[in-house]
Amino acid sequence: MWNHAARGYLLSQFLSPLTNLRSGRWGLALENHARILIGIVRARRKESRPESP
């Protein structure tokens, strides 16, 4: 998955200040640029955890 956050893929565009010119929730600060990637990682971890008995 990390490979898709590099080399011109869509997720890399959110991380780069050169392509992510958004303001507000998805832009400006580095934390906002990474917000989508962090959300994806958290969701995948949640899905991959086994259910408790």
pLDDT digits (tens, 9 = 90+) for 15-43: 888 888 888 888 888 888 888 889 988 99
pTM, two decimals, is: 0.66
Interatomic CA distance for residues 43 and 39, integer angstroms: 6
Sequence letter at residue 26: W
Show Cβ contacts of residue 14 under 8 Å, excluding neighbours closer than 6 positions. Answer: 20, 26, 33, 34, 35, 36, 37
What's the pLDDT at 53? Answer: 61
Q: Is the dihedral of CA 45, 25, 11, 35 positive or negative?
A: negative
